[in-house]
Amino acid sequence: MVNTNRVKSLAALFEETFRATERATKKAVPKEDAYIDEGDATYTCSYCGAIMWFGERLNRRLKTPNPKFSLCCMQGQVQLPLLKQPPEVLKNLLIGDDKLSKHFQRNTRAYNMVFSFTSLGLKIDRSVRKGKGPNMLVLQENRTKALSKGGQAKAYKKSDGLKKEIIDLLIKMLNETNPYVKQFRSTKDRFTINPRDSFHMRIDGFRLGIKKGVTKATEKLKKENISMRQFFAFRLHERKNEAHTILNSGRLFQQFVVDAYTTIESNRLRYLRTHQTTLRSDSYDSIKQSENAGRIDMAEQGSSFVLPATFTGGPRYMKNLYLDAMTICKHFGFPNLFITFTCNPKWPEITRHLTNRKSKAEDRSDIICRMFKMKLDSLMDDLTKKNILGKTVSSMYTIEFHKRGLPHAHILLFMHPTANDDEKKKFALLEIEKLLKRCGTSLAKYPSMPQLAKTHSKDSNVLILYERSYDREALLETLDRDIPKMTTEQRKIYDEILDVVNKERGGMFFVSGFGGTGKTFLWKLLSAAIRSRGDIALNVASSGIASLLLQGGRTAHSRFGIPLNPDEFSSCTMAHGSDQANLVKKASLIIWDEAPMMSEEMIYLSADSIDPTDTKAVNDEALDSDFLNNIKVSGLPNHRLRLKVGCPVMVLRNVDPQEGLMNGTRLQITQLMEFMVAAKIITGSNVGKTVYIPRLLITPSDTRLPFKMHRRQLPLAVAFAITINKTQGQSLSEVGLFLPRPVFSHGQLYVAISRVTSKKWLKILIVDKDGKPQHKTVNVVFKEVFNNL
């Protein structure tokens, strides 16, 4: 039995809701806020005394006057001795403003190398490989190039730009204050007297076995020792009662950060390599069983070195993130907003912090990254919690670094579907219908309640809801503003297509026009006209770049499930009755931009092998198929040829001179087959003739290869442009000549210009080394050619 009282109360509740939504509501206009300043680093860690920003606190939700931090010392886990103040000589050189100090600050890395205790030596080991191939380079620690006994630094050249007076000051400083210098200078004599004698010296730095500090926050931790990352994180933070020698070292500090990162990564990789038995899913017993079963090739049985999914940046780690992102897209649909958040090294917080310390932004990458992370966290809070752009249901972002070293983030936001009053009423009725059906009844048995329209009985499709969530008022404003801007031809097409859609007659239209004629403008108005009345218009394009120009645009591959490499047996992957299929059925109009580009396409892979006559190379295991596939030399087609109908190609061999198939002949693909292609000749005396090009066994003519090889492949290369030399003997209807630099051979400019029959069909683009257009070029003529005429 159905609880009628509960149904009546639900009906009254929703009726009140519907009446409330009918009242006009005024949208609140968000007030534009000023710049959000993160303040200065005035807070200190209660455990280690590190100077921190308030935005770096452990719990960002709590605005307590005594925040806790873990970025510096993991809440007291890391307890290291503080760095002592440097000698006055070094301190003045690092932070001084005089000419000598400025020179030292610009060349800190060079001076550091001069006073390095050890250096790397390099030699070519010629005893390992006697045959062809690269030489083996051996890197080893060169202990003899330490600071010499006489108190002089390692030899340096005057061309290095180093000043002797600074070197003398540093030598004197090291002799007076560094306890390791005197001991290290004696190593050369010790190795000379007894080369087998071992020598050990422990210098303060990271080492295994540094115990963690015990606090209330760390009592339950299992690991007793600090990690290498925690050690360097402690050293990268500034403290009032500690020397700032490392942080004030400029470019030498940059080297310190890079060396720390590479050391940490090497340590992680070394751990994974030495603990493969505890990380891999397949044990060594399975490999032994395979060997006993007669399988000789053990390379097929597992991998010698597996990176687990916990290794940041590894293939499994990246794959897991990709699958998580795709799962979110599958649940919430396509993202609504794509936001790029960049870092500004001149943010006021960074400028104030570095100005007080006489540092530059490029020398303090740690401060830039810390401030960027605070700004990014603040932005994500504004987007996902404060909903400044609207209510969000999910979000994701990734952080990348420019070549200049500045970070930036790419953010995807999945917005909550917006709906007007009618759609809200429809969604509410859908929920009521679901509840009633669970109880064995439906809204149809309660005539006093609003009824669910038949056309809306199955609109729980998230893709359909997304396509119907556009702001109709904004679309109507777009139509009122842009329809008067249409040309007569555009308006005629617009009215004709809308007339067919409105009368549901069905049909297909092909709109052709050159670039810049307003096709994209027309697509936007057509889709706005359909969507402004609540219907669905699907915008698709053949390429990803073209789809970005259309509102709600998608590639045709993703929208219709078209395979990326279709053949004659391919079909779309849309399943009958799926959300994707129902979306296409509901669409009133489908706009397909660049539809002719979706032509047939095939990829041809070559078969490479060593020439059997080359007895030395035929048994060389290094010359496997993967190595041969990567070889690219002149006159040899690529291992991977991607061709499509209509693509221009050039013949690389004299296949059939009588038929016009010679080296340099240009063709246009007309048909793709499994082992051959059909093409139409577009240059020479046989223009318009259709020929068939099979796969041929080709031997490269380049004698610089230390071995002989064969490649079975189509003797073709994709040729959207050709060199001047390849055009000799050809007459072309239109020529576009691109000269990024002057021609360098006698008469070559004449050859290029004389390929066309009329100057009306000749276009020349001349640019200088900076890419700026020019109006003249050099015509190279060797006068010696005319001496004997």
Taking only the tens place, the pLDDT of each residue in 341-398 is: 999 999 999 999 999 888 999 999 999 999 999 999 999 999 999 988 888 999 999 9
| C-alpha distances in Å from residue 94, one per residue of 86, 98, 176, 505 | 10, 11, 19, 80
Cα(109)–Cα(257) distance, integer angstroms: 13
Out of 219-223, 566-570, 784-788, the most confident range is: 219-223
On the question of pLDDT at 24 being above 70, the answer is: no
Domain ranges of the chain: 88-119+138-193, 461-595, 601-720, 727-786
Burial (Cβ within 10 Å: 0-12, 13-18, ≥19) of residue 437:
exposed
Q: What's the pLDDT tens digit per position in 719-754?
A: 877 777 766 666 777 888 888 888 766 667 877 888
Mean pLDDT of 660-666: 84
Q: Could you report how far apart the first and last alpha carbons of the chain are, in Å?
A: 115
Whether residue 465 is predicted with pLDDT greater than 70 in this model: the reply is yes
The answer on pLDDT for 23 being more than 80 is no
Q: Tokens at residue 784, please?
A: 């010696």
- AA letter at 418: T
pLDDT over 90 percentage in the chain: 31
pLDDT given at position 459:
52
Give the residue from 535, 534, 560, 536 showing the smallest Cα distance to 547: 560
Q: Which of 84-88, 260-264, 284-288 has the lowest mean pLDDT?
A: 284-288
- Secondary structure (DSSP) of 293-326: TT---GGGSS-SS---TTSTTSHHHHHHHHHHHH
| pLDDT reading at 20 higher than 50 | no
Q: Express each pLDDT in 418-450 by its tens digit.
A: 656 676 677 778 778 777 766 667 788 888 888
| Structural Rg of the chain based on CA atoms | 36
- Write out the two tokens for 718: 């994709």
- Collapsed DSSP state (helix, strand, coil) of residue 374: helix
Cα separation, 755 vs 683, whole angstroms: 11
Among the ranges given (153-162, 329-338, 408-417, 668-677), the one the predictor scored with the smallest mean pLDDT: 153-162
Long-range CB contacts (< 8 A, 24+ apart) of 277-283?
Answer: 279/306, 279/308, 280/306
State how far the Cα of 290 lies from the Cα of 710, in Å rounded to an integer.
35
Instruction: Quickly state the pLDDT bin for 49 (edges 50, 70, 90).
Output: very high
Output the average pLDDT for the chain. Answer: 80
